[in-house]
Amino acid sequence: MSADRAFDPESLLETFQSLPIVTGYCVALSGGADSVALLVALVELRPRLAKSLRAIHVHHGLQQEADGWTTFCEQLCRDQDVPLEVRRIDVKQQRGESLEAAARRERYDALAASLHSDEVLLTAHHCDDQVETLLLHLLKGAGTDGLAAMPVKRPFYQGLLLRPLLQYRRSQLIAFLESRNLRWIDDPSNQDTSFDRNYLRHNIIPGLTSRWPGAVSCMFRSAELQSSQRQLSDDLASIDLASTADPLTGALASPKLLSLGDERRLNLLRFWLRHHQPSIRLSRKQLQTLDHQIRVSEGKGGFLFQVDGNNIRQFQGRLFKDRLGKSPELAVTIWRLDRPLVIEALNLWLEPSQLFRAIPRLKSTDMLKVRARQGGEMLEIPGRGHRSLKRLLQEWGVPEWKRSTLPLLWKDDRLICVPGYWVAATR
């Protein structure tokens, strides 16, 4: 933690230089002091980052002042010469979901939809946010995953999510803005102590730091230690996922899952559920309930389990994860094979390396057309001639609810792959 020195944008350079190759940076801009400080710091670093910089503002429409906040962000970005995208969302709570949680979920969905391939989404979470998150999770009886609080960086749909300010206190960011005579927005809802986070911020943490001045630093360090443990758990789960999940469909093989010990199986389930969809939140009890259904069915019977906007279904010995609601339409997409194919609405993530292993003649410069079934497709099966895709999907045991959104990969008007089920013979 860097509480002993003033915030200096130069201190962020090491974090940015450690990133993989990226196409640009996108700041999540609310207009509050934290995000304004982050945007201005990035503007000062822009010549040395040598990447595009833009901002996105999510208009929740939950407060009367929301239009004014959008106007403020637009003016700030004009002053800083930064392109701004404004996304308006309609926050709808799911059953049992708080307004805070619904707004967060909708906000991250909007940010994900806006993010470009290999772009870095930057959020302005700081040390005080991290400590509040740790305490909230502790009060809910969280384990390692919750007590690790927020990671500095993690994969985020087709890009990366980075929190470069976690080492700094909010007071340091305020001092930085004041040194540059910059304004920011104060959200009046941040004073409402009926919200748990605000109650901790205004009533609990000041009392802790009054009695123990180093409390914030110590709690921050505990979160870092728990984060190290979480990384070990994730590394183990990655190994298990590679041997248990279909690399193209993402479905888990239930018999292989059941061969793992209890804690290792729960660890894999947690990792799989949040893989490429980290916004999923589930309790230990929910995880154990899902695990119980898998064990009772001996990995064979069908069942439906719902968690945080997703259906978890077992079908013919495989576990599938799908978004709740009406199946989305799969629009025609062009996939350039130098980057992953991400279709967030379908929980679909395909890596080019998976395709290269199956079809060695493909190159990273190739471009494939991705679309759903239109009817009448025929596949050439070695030793069986041409067969109807419709009948083959039934033979392959593709769940009925997945058939309409199953992506088909085409190259030069030739169907070359049904991911997870069929690859055209090499010619």
Residue pair 170/176 in contact by the 8 Å Cβ criterion: no
Tens of pLDDT, residue by residue over 61-104, are 777 888 999 999 999 999 999 999 999 888 777 776 777 777 77
pLDDT tier at 305, thresholds 50, 70, 90: confident
Structure tokens given for 265? 């199986």
Task: For residue 412, give the 3-state DSSP assignment.
Answer: coil
Cα dihedral sign, 213-216-217-223:
positive
Mean pLDDT for the stretch of residues 294-313:
79
Q: What percent of the chain has pLDDT over 70?
A: 93
Please provide the DSSP assignment of 103-169 as one string.
Answer: HHHHHHHHHHHHPPTTEEEE----HHHHHHHHHHHHHTT--HHHHT-S-SEEEETTEEEE-TTTTS-
Nearest 5°: CA angle at 364, between 23 and 354?
Answer: 100
pLDDT tier at 329, thresholds 50, 70, 90: low
What residues does 32 pair with on adjacent strands?
Answer: 185
Burial string for 123-150 (b: 16+ CB within 10 Å, else e) reads: bbbbbbbbbbbbbbbeeeebebbbbbbb
Q: Does residue 133 or residue 62 have the better pLDDT?
A: 133
Ordered structural domains, the chain, with CATH: 9-221 (3.40.50.620), 245-323 (1.20.59.20), 333-423 (no CATH)
CB atoms within 10 A of CB 56: 20
Residue pair 114/85 in contact by the 8 Å Cβ criterion: yes
Look up the pTM and report it.
0.75
Tens of pLDDT, residue by residue over 97-131, are 777 777 777 888 888 888 887 899 999 999 999 99
Q: Does residue 6 or residue 346 have the better pLDDT?
A: 6
Q: Does residue 247 or residue 388 have the better pLDDT?
A: 388
Task: Name the nearest CA neighbour of 316 among 246, 266, 390.
Answer: 246
- Helix crossing, 215-244 with 262-274: angle to 10°? 100
Residue pair 245/253 in contact by the 8 Å Cβ criterion: yes
Q: Measure CA 144 to chain center.
A: 19
Task: For residue 302, give the 3-state DSSP assignment.
Answer: coil
User: DSSP label at 199?
Assistant: H
Tens of pLDDT, residue by residue over 384-397, are 778 888 888 888 88
- 280 pLDDT higher than 90: no
Q: What percent of the chain has pLDDT over 90?
A: 43
Q: What is the predicted pLDDT for the residue at 172?
A: 95
